[in-house]
Chain A
Amino acid sequence: MTEKKQKDEREFAFDWGYTRKPVYGPEDVKHLDYQQEIGNPGEYPYVRANFPIMYRNRPILQRIYSGFLSGEDTNSRFKYLIDQGMRSLSIALDLPTQLGLDSDDPKGEDDVGRIGVAIDTLQDMEEILQGIDLGKVSTNITINALAPILLSMYVAVAEKQGVGRDKIACVVQNDILKEYVVRGAWIFPPIHGLKLTVDVIEYCAKELPRVSPVSVAAGHLRSSGATAAQELAWGFEIALTYLQTALERGLAIDEVAPFITYTFHNKLNFFEEAAKFRAARSIWAELMKERFGAANPKSLFTRIFSGGGMEELTIQEPINNIIRETLVALGVLLGGSQGMGLCCYDEAYTIPSPEAQLIQLRTGQILSEEAGIADVVDPLGGSYYVETLTTELEKAVLKIMDDIESSGGMLKAIEQGRIQRECAEGAYARQRRLDSGEQIWVGANKYAGKEKEWDVELHEYDPQIREKRIAKLEKVKSERDNGKVENCLKELKQSAEDNVNLVPPIMEAVKSYATIGEMTAVLKELYGEFKEPSIV
């Protein structure tokens, strides 16, 4: 070895086990059969892309997560973003709403309107969407445990606007299983959470052709400690649990599979991330075709929304986060994702400012419209390195999936706390690497500057918001037809006891201006509440 100092090999290992060589060549890919194992873009097994010319006729969809305080506040931020060229909205909900607590519930008293917008009844949703043509935008609602309720509210507003059911376009995250692992916005035990998730999938498959009823948000797992391989493997196993449950209800694979979409989170190494998306498409396509016998090409697609997960952002020298998110965006575009949601540079320490949101939007626009990064499909395809990474990642993912399936499946693994434990171990190991400097954070744990230390800033919070919300809630309750609400809630209870799809009775209850808390209480009585397995 003539090199003065050989760098430690471990530095070049990905956390999912594969160690990169210094250089790749033809011998690394000579076993690959292009037609069989890769194929052209738009052809099975879709390694290269879902569609033949990708972004040339389907520009990437960018979303910015917004939502705070009241419906009016959120509404005006949405209108600002639409004026800047956004074609889609993303509603962030406060924690009481996510957990089925009305603004007057003492359990949520410190959290009303804090990290997102508060919603109690249909009236709040009407305010959030006031003056926005729901026939022209698509909207993401980050709701999981109560997806049937928020979906019903959105549909009710759209119908009032006169938008036809075939034109209503929204995404509800509706991925309850990952909530038990990370993020923690669960209410009911997993088996009942699963039922509600699949109710939404089933309803949309039959009634709302342009709604994405589930976005398996494996990215949250990645941000909380999972490796790229675990992100895909656990995401797929969660999706398979939903799919299997839907099939057991008598739906056909080609009725359901096209409605399953994914949210993944990227880190900064865009070669790894592009390989991840390539591996994902191939694994899912093969599963759908070979194991489930899907025939509709739409069933074979891995439709991906991806972006940054925030854990890579630094509070030190925060402007550098714009560069970090540009690398994330490269992974998204080079990997051929359908949607992109970058983090704002200030998101590590505050709810993003409008300026930061604009930079985030511009990052994607500059890369795809100015620099021409998205002009050619799968530009990394054929790279000795990226093809090898794709193959290796695929192997690592399949191994994890086999392991879960042979020990009883994902629901069991989550109920027993196994995935939670593995995820927490990954997060702990990462923190140790950052603390020791083994994993580098420029400007934070290496080359740390002497310049002024940034401070966490919280979005201005209105301490009166809860009182205002309670007054409003009382007004709605006094103006609505309470007899009708009663009947709707009884109907909901009966349907839950009969174990039928709960979206229709929830939709009726929503239209009667029943509150989220009232509807959730009916279900809690029947389903009980989740008790976390001990995992610490």
Chain B
Amino acid sequence: MPTERPIRVLVGKPGLDGHDVGAKIVSRALRDAGMEVVYSGLHQKPDEIVATALQEDVDVIGLSILSGAHLPIAQKILQKLKEKGIDDVPIIIGGVVPKRDAAKLKEYGIAEVRGFGSSLDEIVETVSGLAKSRRAA
């Protein structure tokens, strides 16, 4: 039986926001749960995030945004994923996101929002669920 490769996740920091404690904590938790994590580093433009996702062949993209700019950034990244033909890669967003924006993000096509107050276990479970349903599809 072939061994399945571990889940690969891109943890991205799009925009100029430099608060990366959350992104680093989540990266660590995902890795501790056996996933492979690619961390984008700070100040990434939407097309840089998408290029990394493509190049690293990730199963899930996690974005951490605390500046309030989540709506325009999400739209741009979704658009670019579509252009590259990889819009089946699910995106999960974390950071400071009001509930009404979370609903909007889902309308845009963001798979999940796990902001402020989510536990690490919950995030790990969500990411793992997203990856599995994409692979099953």
Q: Using a CB–CB distance below 8 Å, which chain A residues touch chain B?
A: 95-96, 98-99, 101, 107-111, 114-115, 179, 182-186, 224-225, 315-316, 348-349, 424, 427-428, 431-432, 435, 444, 455-459, 461, 532, 534-536
Known contacts: A183-B19, A427-B21. The answer to whether A455 contacts B68 by CB under 8 A is: no
Residue of B nearest to A421 (CB): B24
Interface residues on B, range: 35 or more
Instruction: Judge whether B2 is part of the interface by a CB distance below 8 angstroms.
Output: no
Given the complex, which residues of B lie within 8 Å of A424, measured CB to CB? 21, 24-25, 28
* Closest A residue, CB atoms, query B98: A456
Closest chain-A Cβ to B134's Cβ sits at a distance in Å of 23
Q: Does B94 contact A (CB under 8 A)?
A: no
Q: Please name all residues of chain B whose beta carbon is closer than 8 Å to the beta carbon of A95 when the two chains form the complex.
A: 15-18, 67
| Interface CB pairs A-B, < 8 A, 28 | A96-B16, A107-B45, A108-B16, A110-B69, A110-B76, A111-B67, A114-B67, A114-B68, A115-B68, A182-B20, A184-B19, A184-B42, A225-B21, A315-B116, A316-B117, A424-B25, A427-B24, A428-B28, A431-B25, A435-B119, A435-B120, A444-B117, A456-B115, A459-B68, A461-B68, A532-B42, A536-B11, A536-B39
Q: What distance in Å separates the Cβ of A264 from its nearest Cβ neighbour in chain B?
A: 18
Q: In the complex, what residues of B have CB within 8 A of residue A96's CB?
A: 16
**Inter-chain contacts of B18 with A (CB < 8 A):** 95, 179, 183-186
**Total contacts A to B, CB within 8 angstroms?**
101
Contacts A107-B16, A424-B21, A536-B27; A431 near B120 (Cβ below 8 A):
yes
Kindly list chain B residues whose C-beta atoms are within 8 Å of the C-beta of A99.
16, 43
* Partner pick for A349 among B69, B73, B96, B100, CB 8 A cutoff: B96
With most chain A CB atoms within 10 A of its CB, the pick from B16, B21, B97, B101 is B16
Looking at A98, A224, A444, the one whose CB has the most chain B CB atoms below 10 A away is A224
Residues 95-107 of chain B: 1 if any A CB is under 8 Å from the residue's CB, otherwise 0? 0111111000000
Tell me whether A536 and B28 are in contact in the complex, defined as CB-CB below 8 angstroms, given that A96-B16, A184-B43 are known contacts.
Answer: yes
B-side contacts of A459, CB under 8 Å:
68
Give me 10 other A-B pairs in contact (C-beta within 8 A), A95-B17, A456-B115, A458-B101 excluded: A95-B67, A101-B16, A111-B17, A424-B24, A427-B24, A428-B25, A428-B29, A455-B100, A456-B96, A536-B23
B residues near A535, Cβ cutoff 8 Å: 24
User: Contacts A111-B69, A114-B67, A424-B28 hold; do A458 and B116 have CB atoms under 8 A apart?
Assistant: no
Q: A182-B21, A349-B96, A427-B21 are in contact. Are A111 and B15 (CB under 8 A)?
A: yes
Contact residues in B for A348 (Cβ distance below 8 Å): 116
CA distance A424 to B29 in the complex (A): 12
Asked whether B121 is an interface residue with its Cβ less than 8 Å from the other chain, the reply is: yes
A111 in complex: contacting residue of B16, B96, B97, CB < 8 Å: B16
B67 to chain A: which residues have CB within 8 Å?
95, 110-111, 114-115
Contacts of A444 in B (CB 8 A): 117
**Is B49 an interface position by the 8 A CB rule?**
no
- CB pair B21 A184 closer than 8 Å: no
Complex: A103 Cα to B89 Cα, angstroms = 32
Contacts of A428 in B (CB 8 A): 24-25, 28-29
Distance in angstroms from B17 CB to nearest chain A CB is 6
Cβ-defined partner of B24 (8 Å) among A115, A457, A536 = A536
Which chain A positions have C-beta within 8 A of B117? 315-316, 444
| Chain A residues positioned under 8 Å from B34 (CB to CB) | none
Which residues from chain B contact A186 at a C-beta distance below 8 Å? Answer: 18
**How far in angstroms is the closest Cβ of chain A from B72?**
5
- A108–B19 Cα distance when bound, in Å, is 16
Question: Does chain A have a CB within 8 A of B7?
Answer: no
B41 within 8 A of A: yes
Residues of A within 8 A of B27 (CB): 536
- Beta-carbon contacts under 8 Å, B26-77 to A: 27-29, 31, 37, 39, 41-43, 45, 67-69, 72-73, 76
> Once the chains are docked, how many angstroms separate the CA of A348 from the CA of B95?
12
Output the nearest chain A residue to B17 by Cβ-Cβ distance: A95
The distance in angstroms between the C-alpha atoms of A267 and B18, with both chains bound, is: 22
| A225, B19: Cα distance in complex, Å | 12
Q: In the complex, what's the smallest C-beta–C-beta distance from B123 to chain A, in angstroms?
A: 10
Which of chain B's residues has its CB closest to A427's CB?
B21
Looking at the assembled complex, report how far the CB atom of A439 sits from the nearest CB atom of chain B, in whole angstroms: 13
Q: Once bound together, how far apart are the Cα atoms of A534 and B39, in whole Å? A: 8
Contacts of B21 in A (CB 8 A): 182, 224-225, 424, 427
Provide the residues of chain B in CB contact with A456, threshold 8 Å.
96-99, 115-116
Docked Cα-Cα span, A108 to B25, in Å, equals 26
Q: 5 closest pairs, A vs B, by CB?
A: A184-B18, A95-B16, A536-B39, A110-B69, A424-B24
Q: How far is the CA of A118 from the CA of B97 in the complex (A)?
A: 22
Within the complex, the shortest CB–CB distance from A9 to chain B, in Å, comes to 26
Q: CA of A349 to CA of B97 in the docked complex: distance in angstroms?
A: 9
Contact assessment for B98 and A458 in the assembled complex, using a CB-CB cutoff below 8 Å = yes
Question: In the complex, what residue of chain A is closest to B115 when comparing beta carbons?
Answer: A456
Residue of A nearest to B117 (CB): A315
A26, chain B: closest CB distance, angstroms: 42
Chain A residues whose CB sits within 8 angstroms of the CB of B45 once the complex forms: 107
Which interface residue of B29, B39, B68 has the most chain A CB atoms within 10 A? B68
Interface centre among B15, B24, B98, B101 (most CB of A within 10 A): B24
In the bound assembly, the distance between CA atoms of A1 and B24 in angstroms comes to: 44
Interface contact A110-B73, CB-CB below 8 Å? yes
In the complex formed, the residue of B with least CB distance to A461 is B68
Contacts of B68 in A (CB 8 A): 114-115, 458-459, 461
Chain A residues contacting B31 (CB-CB under 8 Å) are 536
B47 CB, min distance to chain A CBs, angstroms: 11
CA distance A424 to B18 in the complex (A): 14
State A432–B19 Cα separation when bound (angstroms): 19
- List, in ascending order, chain B residues with CB within 8 A of A315's CB: 116-117
